[in-house]
A and B are shown apart, each in its own frame.
Chain A
């Protein structure tokens, strides 16, 4: 039998890429952010991340094994990515049972009910995060002040995030020029020395991850760049209209979850569009919605909602926005 020749159709060669390798690449790109969160929030960051990753893996495994009764594909690494991203979207003092509930919503409801990897319309980590935000608003918005291993877990000292300071201040009629003294300077924000979700604060490490993803060709520039650029343009316009009522672009990009969202959440393969043209429109949609929510909405932060809303438009965009086909227009050079 072994002497028989294989006669499968072409191509007879296959590239090196596999789903597992891509997911491993994303995990590697997230490691700098993980180290930064441990640096700022100490062992609490380890507890939260470990709980989230382990529950995501376990829940996916149990569902595949006992509900789907199909081969378990847990080794593809996608549950680890979801677990890491969910953890990065949480404050470091969040109780373990809430993380487990969030992981369950992310994996069981947002991913497995649709059939598992490749089929979910919404980003699982974000669905989990938003569920937690709505269900546990107090725990989800008490932000420990970064103090390294002195931060503590359940007894951490908390404070408002820069976005919340600005939102609250503007509501009370304080002008931006006065609020500036209460928020960290841009250099400290760039390094991540401020309150916020564990993985979103340090811009510098997220950008290292971005460079790695681009270098390894795991993602393309289209989505992250169009989100950041559209936020920059939109906030610049608002800032020019009234610099006392609207924070500038630098603040909006560095504060909150813009970079984490743009680089790691919005680029999720499954829930983002399939061609560059649609990717740019999707990215701009996320950027504009984020600022609309931040400036006019009830929440100080809008990245998660913006991405989930644009996720809903992805099938529609894939249907109507098509790449320009080769030979579509007669062109003579």
Chain B
């Protein structure tokens, strides 16, 4: 199985989580998850409290959005979010920090799980819990096992294989017990008695810490994994931990397991035990030129620029601001975009590292083939996309590509493999959809 070893650059691995002060204004997008955007349920001028639901999930694959601050709704307007697209957002002017009364703000760790499994799923939906590893898939959907499917093991993702990012690492070091209770809650919801936490060998302290803590929990084991990108990808992690291969185009449930991230487990703990909706998360702010990189607990809707300020201000030589890790993250054009549920880190790259290498002819070295985690042939998919041969590209399984970027990373000729594969993949998906529509019509 392929994979690459990009320089780890985990500059902030040893820096404890700090709380970022609440900003004076936040911008909360209504779509911070995969699925249907939530519907706004507040109006301009409304007073809201911290933790109050301000947008409601619409449909099964959707999620609630909660206010991360207390204050007054300034307006409902569109904003360009971290994905680069415009979407509706709720602008709130902050006034104090008054939380919804039902949230348990004490430091006490509650171990006993009182809710039933149905109630847990409902609470996750109600609290707007989504996958915090980056994909932001609504967690209640993953906890609802459809009839005819079964789940016998829960996989917990503590891999954090992206270079630079350390938010999951720090969370495991500082909130390990809560994470483990969260995992127990997830196990109860899924009705499984076994959970495996996968952590890469570059986080030995976290492996040791979590192993020690897991001793006190029934059915949870910690597994050290070899460092390899993209091991944190769902299908790769399942393969590494329980040696099951999720079939092409299928989901983990098709091999009887479910994968959740450590950050999500922590959010589930807070939602179920503390009745606290998801409106803040740990974000790594890092970069070689930053004077004060770190890990911060940030309210959603906080402008990324505030986070950069806290880390010592935007360095002079910044050429790229990446939302997420350097392998799969998205470069943003404006540092004022808000932090959302899926923001695991902000990486600032100096100018010389933000420019791509010159593109040379393919020398057919086959390195892209050997690093592909899904054993596809990136060079071929690129050529097919370049020439518009989409039918052939579909046959070569272009839609299996998870866009991990290992091919572009490794290409000695600096070829933009993934750029073209993305183009081909989206075109193939479009063609396939049209085909389905046509079949239905005829």
The residues of A that contact B319 with a CB separation of less than 8 Å are: 5-6
A55 to B328, CA, bound (A): 45
Closest partner residue, chain A, to B333 (CB atom): A7
Give A282-333 interface residues, CB cut-off 8 Å to B: 318, 322-333
Of the stretches A13-21, A136-144, A244-252, A258-266, the one at the interface is A13-21
Interface residues of A, dominant DSSP: loop
Are B318 and A8 in contact, CB atoms less than 8 angstroms apart? no
Any chain B CB within 8 A of the CB of A9? yes
Interface size of B by Cβ–Cβ distance < 8 Å? 72
Partner of B361 from the list A9, A17, A116, A332 (CB cut-off 8 Å) is: A116
Interface residues of B, dominant DSSP: loop
Interface size of A by Cβ–Cβ distance < 8 Å? 46
Are B375 and A15 in contact, CB atoms less than 8 angstroms apart? no
A22 to B249, CA, bound (A): 36
A321 to B200, CA, bound (A): 34
The residues of B that contact A332 with a CB separation of less than 8 Å are: 244, 255-256
A269: shortest Cβ distance to chain B, in Å?
4
Are B333 and A5 in contact, CB atoms less than 8 angstroms apart? yes
The residues of B that contact A333 with a CB separation of less than 8 Å are: 242-244
Give A214-272 interface residues, CB cut-off 8 Å to B: 220, 269-270, 272
Are A7 and B244 in contact, CB atoms less than 8 angstroms apart? no
Any chain B CB within 8 A of the CB of A275? yes
B427: shortest Cβ distance to chain A, in Å?
16
Any chain B CB within 8 A of the CB of A119? yes
Are A117 and B361 CB-contacts (below 8 A) given A11-B328, A269-B366, A325-B400? yes
The residues of B that contact A78 with a CB separation of less than 8 Å are: 363
Any chain B CB within 8 A of the CB of A185? no
Any chain A CB within 8 A of the CB of B142? no
Are A10 and B328 in contact, CB atoms less than 8 angstroms apart? yes
Are A325 and B244 in contact, CB atoms less than 8 angstroms apart? no
Are B331 and A13 in contact, CB atoms less than 8 angstroms apart? no
Are B327 and A14 in contact, CB atoms less than 8 angstroms apart? no
Are A6 and B320 CB-contacts (below 8 A) given A326-B400, A327-B235? yes
Are A18 and B414 in contact, CB atoms less than 8 angstroms apart? yes
Q: List 17 A-B contacts (CB under 8 A).
A: A6-B355, A7-B84, A10-B418, A13-B353, A18-B413, A19-B360, A19-B413, A76-B360, A116-B361, A274-B379, A323-B369, A325-B248, A327-B249, A328-B247, A328-B248, A329-B247, A332-B255
A interface residues (Cβ-Cβ under 8 A, vs B):
2, 5-15, 17-19, 21-22, 73, 76, 78, 115-119, 220, 269-270, 272-276, 318, 322-333
B interface residues (Cβ-Cβ under 8 A, vs A):
1, 4, 6-7, 84, 163, 235, 239, 242-250, 255-256, 318-322, 326-333, 347, 349, 351, 353-357, 360-367, 369-370, 373-377, 379-380, 397, 400, 403, 405-406, 408-414, 418-419, 422
**Additional A-B contact list (4), CB under 8 Å, known A12-B349, A15-B6:** A5-B354, A8-B354, A19-B413, A327-B245
By Cβ-Cβ distance, the 3 closest A-B pairs, closest first, are: A333-B243, A11-B405, A118-B361
